[in-house]
Amino acid sequence: MARYGIYGSHTPETCPLYFVKYAQVFVDIAELEPEELATAYGIRQIEAQYHSALEHTFLWIVEAEQPHLIEAFGIDTGLASFNTIRIVPIHTFAETVDRLKMAHHL
Ligand SMILES: [Zn+2]
């Protein structure tokens, strides 16, 4: 299990604010059952979901089994049909400090 940042961006020309078909994708994702996310995509927990309306970007933070299943989630749900998506392994600041302590024997 690992934590990933899902960084998404789209253009105003494909913004859910203006196109109902893309708004529907977000609504459908919001209504997915946690069990479905876990079973189908290995997404065990969604820790945060932040959006910037005018930058047309978002950051979701998830606990998931592996990034290829997050990729499948993006494709299957339609999220990737109007967003460029980056899936990045991330750590908390505290975890980073612990890793630095170990790496540098601090
Ligand atoms: Zn937008």
The domain that contains 67 carries what CATH number? 3.30.70.1060
**Ligand 1 geometric centre to CA of 69 (Å):** 25
pLDDT of residue 20: 98
**Ligand 1 geometric centre to CA of 27 (Å):** 14
In this prediction, residue 64 has a pLDDT band, given cuts at 50, 70 and 90, of very high
**Ligand 1 geometric centre to CA of 103 (Å):** 40
| 65-89: pLDDT as tens digits | 999 999 999 999 999 999 999 999 9
What are the counts of helices (DSSP H) followed by strands (DSSP E) for the chain? 4, 4
Q: Which two tokens stand for residue 82?
A: 């109007």
Domain with 43 in it: 2-104
Q: How many domains does the chain have?
A: 1
**Ligand 1 geometric centre to CA of 40 (Å):** 27
In this prediction, residue 36 has a pLDDT band, given cuts at 50, 70 and 90, of very high
Is the pLDDT confidence value at 22 over 90?
A: yes
Is the pLDDT confidence value at 1 over 90?
A: no
